[in-house]
Amino acid sequence: MQIGSYQLKNNLILAPMAGITDRPFRELCVQFGAGLAVSEMVASNPALTRHKTTLLKTDHNGDTGIRSVQILGTDPRLMADAAKLNAQRGAQIIDINMGCPAKKVCSVAAGSALLRDEALVKRILDAVVNAVDIPVTLKIRTGWDMRSRNAVEIAQIAENAGIAALTVHGRTRACKFEGRAEHETVKKVKQSVSIPVIANGDIDSPEQARFVLDSTGADAIMIGRAAQGNPWLFSQISHFINHGKHIEKPTVTDIHGTLMSHLDKLYGFYGNASGVRIARKHIAWYFKHLGSVAQDAQSNINQAQCPSHQIALINSAFNLLTTDRAA
């Protein structure tokens, strides 16, 4: 999979997820086999560019993978400026968000709301592609709603503007996250353009990954929610696609070790107080894969206010788990 001048090591991509795909989580997913991990979106609003959370989102210090930064906005000039600024801050790929359905985003007609205005889409893409000399990618949904699924038209606009790769989440904006994603539209998009196309939506197993790749002809797949608490999914999919069989699932000890290293990165990146708070949702996702003994420990773990307490509670949950599984 090639994006502009960047050759990805495979065709498995971690989806941008606000509040989740921070540097620690991206690093982990790359370590476990993601060929690319896209950052959380950053607003193009200049008032926010020096904001502490924006600076953290665009902190690439020690980033191990290709640095793809997602920007969001509606004004072509501000989007162009945001692309330039992020390129100066170390982005190697700029991704444009036209897929986010959140009310906060759509009420200012950004994210997937832009899909209703093809002329504005063209102006934004032209402005951003012309502003930087790094590849620009685009992420969309299949359309605004079921009656206006214009992903093919948007894909052609994107190709003409010089977009280097296009991700299609197989839902309309109106679908939010309901129902199952469909990938028929991705297939149509793939057949109508010659830029790389990435399929996204509800890919949560090696079998589903292979099915989506085969049935759409997409060049790559993008995975979001299924990677939460489960960064191993990338190596599992990669092995299945390359060898046609499954690799061993991570053991309880593997999960414990990975969670500890994830926490260490979170405390280091955010500082102890925020790190402990942000870690809670990740711990819950890891524990979801470990059954009821782990889940029972969760509310207790959520009370911890400092790293040493959080770690001690997690260690005792894992001790219980090991004893439980040995019994």
Ligand X SMILES: Cc1cc2nc3c(=O)[nH]c(=O)nc-3n(C[C@H](O)[C@H](O)[C@H](O)COP(=O)(O)O)c2cc1C
Residues that bind ligand X (CB under 6 A): 15-18, 20, 40-41, 70, 97, 99-100, 139, 169, 200-203, 223-226
Residue 224 annotated as part of some ligand binding site: yes
Cβ proximity to ligand X, 59 vs 264, nearer residue:
59
289 is in an annotated binding site: no
Minimum CB distance to ligand X smaller for 20 or for 36: 20
Q: Which is nearer to ligand X, 180 or 249 (CB)?
A: 180
d(CA 97, CA 138): 6
Residue 273 CA: distances (Å) to CA of 254, 266, 276, 299: 26, 10, 5, 18
81 annotated as belonging to a binding site for a ligand: no
| CB-nearer residue toward ligand X: 89 or 225 | 225
Catalytic residue, candidates 100, 106, 175, 306:
100
Contact 14, 21 (CB under 8 A): yes
Closest CB to ligand X belongs to which residue? 224
- The answer to whether the Cα torsion of 168, 174, 176, 177 is positive or negative is negative
At residue 37, φ and ψ (nearest 5 deg) are -130, 115
169 in a labelled binding site: yes
CA distances (Å), 183 to each of 133, 139, 151, 174, in order? 32, 15, 12, 16
Label the pairing between strands 6-7 and 2-3.
Answer: antiparallel
Residue 164 contacts residue 4 (beta carbons within 8 Å): yes
- Give me the least distance between CB of 248 and ligand X, in Å please: 23
Burial label for 52, CB within 10 Å (0-12, 13-18, 19+), is exposed
Spatial separation of the C-alpha atoms in residues 185 and 8, rounded to whole Å: 24
Question: Is 170 annotated for ligand binding?
Answer: no
Of 18 and 241, nearer to ligand X (C-beta) is 18
C-beta of 223: minimal distance to ligand X in Å?
5
CB of 274 to ligand X, least distance (A): 18
- Nearer residue to ligand X within complex by CB, 35 or 304: 35
Active-site residue, 29 included: no
199 marked as binding residue: no
Contact between 129 and 94 (Cβ < 8 Å): no
Question: What's the min distance (Å) between Cβ of 39 and ligand X?
Answer: 9
Phi, psi (degrees; rounded to nearest 5) at 49: -65, -25
Spatial distance between the Cα atoms of 191 and 315, rounded to a whole number of angstroms: 51
* Alpha helices (H) in 176-251, listed in sequence order: 184-192, 206-216, 233-243
CB of 177 to ligand X, least distance (A): 7
Tokens of 3: 């994006």
Tokens (6 digits) for 133: 């000399």
Min. distance of Cβ 245 from ligand X in angstroms?
A: 23
State yes or no: 275 annotated in a binding site.
no
225 annotated as a binding-site residue: yes
Residues making up the binding site: 16-18, 70, 139, 169, 200-202, 224-225
Would you please indicate which residues are annotated as catalytic (active-site) residues? Answer: 100
For the annotated binding site for FMN, the residues are 16-18, 70, 139, 169, 200-202, 224-225
